[in-house]
Structure 1
Amino acid sequence: MNDPYLIKPDPENGLTTTKIKGVDAQGNAIDLFTVNERPLSVFLNNREIVTLMTVGDYPELLGLGYLVNQHMINDDDIIEMIEYDAEIETVVVRTERTTDYEEKLKRKILTSGCGQGTVFGDIMDNLDDVHLPQNANLKTSDIAALLATIKATPSLYQKAGSIHACVLCKNATPLIYMEDVGRHNALDKIAGYMYQHNMVGGDYVIYTTGRMTSEMVIKAVSMGIPILISRSGATHWALELAQKAGLSLISRAKGKRFIALCATERIIFDD
């Protein structure tokens, strides 16, 4: 069987984990791995926007995806260059036009995302204008197959734990599997890849290992994703925002089990 992934975790890359020693409950010395966590400063042109705590891989995609999901970069913007300097842990995204980030920085909402949870206020206002595709659907058999493939994929979580994952999927096929110390970072990396490759969100599904909070819903809606699946649950505000935007939320997804919370008409019960 061919590998369906465009990007997937590389637990052995030596960048994202560190080997340490510990002692187990019986007093035995053991070797284990911890996930790395380091700062990444994101600049838009000449303005520093944010410093994110991240596992350290795909910094260019993370920086770009963060700016896209904050609506600081528009669909019609021309990216002149993305520069990453590993020594000073900084990524700079340069656009052809002069951006309006100064105005956007005046009004923001801090969400409950792990680490940096900033969402600019105008994104909340624009939810009324969002129209996610109603013809998108997902078979229950595809959900089960998707979860099985993701579970069988080697990951940083299997190696070291203490990390979240987000996976961009199409039907029963996982395509882009990102991990990070915050689930919102993993989703931003996917957004960065989609922006670079002109991928329209309406044909895709997002799976996340973390809980579905307001921030995750807002980011999914901003990406045009119509279906969000989680191994965990959802906050009530996330549910209210999803209902407002017409986003399908599927929670507690494990094996062949799940609980659909809203916009359930997209689910085809064939299994």
Structure 2
Amino acid sequence: MLKKGCPDEYPINLVVNGFEIAVFQLTNQDLVDWAYGYLYSEGLIDSANDVEAVEFNEGTGTIQVSLNNSFDPEQMFSKKKHYTAGCGRGVTFFSMTDVKNFKKVSSREKYSLSYLLKKRSEFAQNTPLYLETGGMHGACIIHEDGIITVREDIGRHNAVDKIIGYALRKRLQPERLVLLTTGRVSYEMLSKAAKFGFAVIGSRTAATKQAVQLARFLNIEVVGYLRGKMATVYTSSGRVYDDVTGTTVTSKSIERGEVLTIFN
């Protein structure tokens, strides 16, 4: 299928309490959600209540954020930077050791593989920027009632920050949501989801070994390669059950560090 246009990316300058954090390459859409999500993911805010105001000046490409809490830029930038893998190589200030200190996720929600596959397909049909250009990433949350909310961006990390920012602003309960992403689930992607408290993460593609190790440690279910009638379950938290083939998802093979791949 021929695409009509190229994906857009813009240099966006993030300024917090008058201090310039960095310039980010972003898709010029849902930038307020992104600001909330990024600040939360990097530990600059603990809730939406910490944000007094967010203003975007399209002319200068600047997002101005005013925080209610005390923001210490020297403390933030004294931390060691970790460059993320993949598209648009970003920076996070959380190491894997930091992420292991996050609160372990607790949730009694359970989902069938057929349900996740259905929602993944619905997600794919509701990504207008990708359908227009073929060059966008997306992130999606599945609400309790099955309704989905989608955010898109040129970068997979940005898309996840946008959907976390949306959920944060709406005061949604993360343990009752499912996060879906088009991008690879690497350790820093897992850390964003873990910090917010998602119990189940699904992706169209793979999860890295480091992300799976962290997910097991933090009690998060990770399902990859959600495509058609295929899925790979990397973890064994008991929140995802296989109603596609009848194979037990919480099998000993997964507990030994292997994965369960479903084909039908």
TM-score (norm: length of structure 2): 0.84
* 2:20 maps to 1:48: yes
Q: In structure 1, how many angstroms separate the alpha carbons of the residues matched to 2:101 and 2:52?
A: 32
Closer, same or farther: CA 153–195 of 1 in aligned 2, 3 Å: closer
Counterpart of 2:73 (choices 89, 92, 101) is: 101
Which of 196, 216, 226 matches 1:223? 196
Deviation at 1:214, TM superposition (A): 1.1
How far the C-alpha of 1:147 sits from its partner, in A, is: 2.0
- The DSSP-based 3-state class of the residue aligned with 1:130 is coil
TM-aligned CA deviation for residue 65 of structure 1: 1.2
Deviation at 1:166, TM superposition (A): 0.7
Aligned twin of 1:12: none
Q: Give, as a single letter, the amino acid of the residue that structure 2 aligns with 1:95.
A: L
Letter in 2 for 1:96: N
Counterparts of 1:116 and 1:258 in 2: how far apart (Å)? 27
What is the aligned partner in structure 1 of residue 207 from structure 2?
A: 234
CA distance in structure 1 between the partners assigned to 2:132 and 2:179 by the alignment: 23
Match of 1:214? Answer: 187
Residues 142, 171 of structure 1: 8 Å contact kept: no
Question: Relative to 1, partners in 2 of residues 1:165 and 1:214: Cα closer, same or farther, differing over 3 Å?
Answer: same
> Where do residues 1-271 of structure 1 align in structure 2 (5 Å cutoff)?
32-75=4-47, 77-107=49-79, 108-121=81-94, 124-153=97-126, 155-170=128-143, 173-271=146-244
Q: Which residue of 2 aligns with 1:26?
A: none
Whole-Å Cα distance in 2 between the matches of residues 141 and 103 of structure 1?
Answer: 46
- Find the aligned partners of 1:105 and 1:142 in 2 and give their Cα distance: 42
Q: Provide the C-alpha distance between the structure 2 equivalents of 1:162 and 1:76, rounded to a whole number of angstroms.
A: 31
Residue 177 of structure 1 aligns to a residue in which SS?
strand
* Paired AA for residue 224 in structure 2: S
Q: Distance in 2 between matches of 1:228 and 1:99?
A: 31
Runs of 4+ in 1 over 6 A off after TM superposition: none
- Residues 136 and 102 (structure 1 numbering): CA distance in 2 closer, same or farther, change over 3 Å? farther
Between 244-253 and 131-140, the greater mean CA deviation after superposition: 131-140
Percent identity reads 25
Paired residues, number: 242
* TM-score under structure 1 length normalisation: 0.82
Counterparts of 2:58 and 2:135, CA distance in 1: 23
Look up the equivalent residue of 1:70 and give its one-letter code. Answer: E
Residues 11-65 of structure 1: per-residue CA shift (max 9 Å, x gap): xxxxxxxxxxxxxxxxxxx983111111111111111112110111111111221
1:126 offset after TM fit, Å? 4.6
Alpha carbon RMSD of aligned pairs, Å? 2.1
**Distance change in 2, residues 1:43/1:123 (3 Å):** farther
* Distance in structure 1 (CA, Å) of the matches to 2:145 and 2:116: 6
Distance 2:96 2:186 in 1: 15
Unaligned runs of 5+ in 1: 1-29
Alignment check: 8 A CA contact 1:44 1:92 kept: yes
Q: C-alpha separation between the residues in 2 aligned to 1:102 and 1:78?
A: 19
Judge which range, 74-83 or 189-198, deviates more: 74-83
Corresponding residue for 1:23?
none
Q: Which structure carries more strand by proportion?
A: 1
